[in-house]
Amino acid sequence: MFENIEEGYERRDIYNKDNIEQLSQCYLSMIETIKEDPQREGLLKTPIRAAKAFQFLTHGYGLDPAAILKSAIFHEDSKQIVIVKDIEIYSLCEHHMLPFFGKAHVGYIPNGRICGLSKIPRVVDAFSRRLQLQERLTAQIKDCIQEVLNPMGVAVVIEAQHLCMSMRGIQKQNSVTTTSEFTGAFLKNYNTRQEFMHLIGTKLH
């Protein structure tokens, strides 16, 4: 039965206690290693806060992207491109464990089946909330949609800024990395691919 929640809705964050404890010890060790005082007021709860943040940022490992898509599949005869664009992505570069963030644009051409629109951003989140490479992330989203829906084609474009390039190393704050993956009609037909690229670049609202 439903719990009696006074305000009608309550969001709860639930963490794996063992993981939080282990991660907290790692962050405590990091603070000590850089010669900071972990007993300083501002740092007293930093290890556990950082541990919870890291577990949230990597919670995609506990999600099944294919199952997310399969939970809302419907039969539909439409043969027109379905696009969900400007999907915010937040991920961690696996090389330096620094964030990269930007937008994903995902399209597919139905082949008798469509999925609930919200499932596409959920799939993007499930793959992005992991230690990632942008190139792999783009391919994983494409492969998941292709394998589950078996559409006539899938198109995925991701544009992202990488803090490992702007905060350190080459320090190019305005650089943007673009990756793309295509299957089926998007890969074989230039006009279909161009229609997708035009639509994701057009402001309709």
Question: Domain holding 40: CATH number?
Answer: 1.10.286.10
Phi/psi of residue 150, nearest 5 degrees: 50, 50
From the candidates 132, 134, 144, 181, give the one annotated as an active-site residue: 134
- Whether the CB-CB separation of 27 and 49 falls below 8 Å is answered with no
Q: Give domain status of residue 123, yes or no.
A: yes
Q: Name residue 53's amino acid.
A: A
Say whether 134 is catalytic. yes
Say whether 115 is catalytic. no
- Which of 132, 67, 63, 75 has the alpha carbon at shortest distance from 104? 132
From the candidates 59, 159, 164, 195, give the one annotated as an active-site residue: 164
Tokens encoding 103? 């937008």
Say whether 95 is catalytic. yes
Regarding whether 83 and 32 lie in a shared domain, the answer is: no
CATH number at residue 86: 3.30.1130.10
Confidence at residue 198, expressed as pLDDT on a 0 to 100 scale: 97
Regarding whether 141 and 42 lie in a shared domain, the answer is: no
Q: Give domain status of residue 205, yes or no.
A: no
Q: Give domain status of residue 146, yes or no.
A: yes
Confidence at residue 3, expressed as pLDDT on a 0 to 100 scale: 60
Regarding whether 44 and 123 lie in a shared domain, the answer is: no
Regarding whether 122 and 84 lie in a shared domain, the answer is: yes
CA 132, CA 53: separation in Å to the nearest integer?
17
Confidence at residue 142, expressed as pLDDT on a 0 to 100 scale: 98
Q: How many domains does the structure of the chain reveal?
A: 2
Confidence at residue 6, expressed as pLDDT on a 0 to 100 scale: 66
Q: Give domain status of residue 114, yes or no.
A: yes
Confidence at residue 153, expressed as pLDDT on a 0 to 100 scale: 98
Regarding whether 158 and 69 lie in a shared domain, the answer is: yes
User: Checking DSSP bridges between strand 82-93 and strand 131-132, what pairing results, if any?
Assistant: parallel
Tokens encoding 149? 């829906």
Say whether 26 is catalytic. no
From the candidates 105, 115, 132, 162, give the one annotated as an active-site residue: 162
- Whether the CB-CB separation of 132 and 165 falls below 8 Å is answered with no
Low-confidence ranges of the chain (pLDDT < 70): 1-7, 205
Confidence at residue 9, expressed as pLDDT on a 0 to 100 scale: 82
For the entire predicted model, the pTM comes to 0.93
Regarding whether 104 and 123 lie in a shared domain, the answer is: yes
Q: Which of 26, 57, 88 is the endpoint of a domain?
A: 57
Q: Which of 40, 57, 74 is the endpoint of a domain?
A: 57
Q: Which of 22, 37, 57 is the endpoint of a domain?
A: 57
Say whether 164 is catalytic. yes
Domain ranges, residue 146:
64-200
Say whether 55 is catalytic. no
Confidence at residue 5, expressed as pLDDT on a 0 to 100 scale: 64
Regarding whether 191 and 108 lie in a shared domain, the answer is: yes
Interior angle at CA 88, CA 155 and CA 117, nearest 5: 55
From the candidates 76, 88, 94, 147, give the one annotated as an active-site residue: 94
CA 170, CA 23: separation in Å to the nearest integer?
30
Confidence at residue 85, expressed as pLDDT on a 0 to 100 scale: 97
Regarding whether 171 and 91 lie in a shared domain, the answer is: yes
- Whether the CB-CB separation of 103 and 85 falls below 8 Å is answered with yes
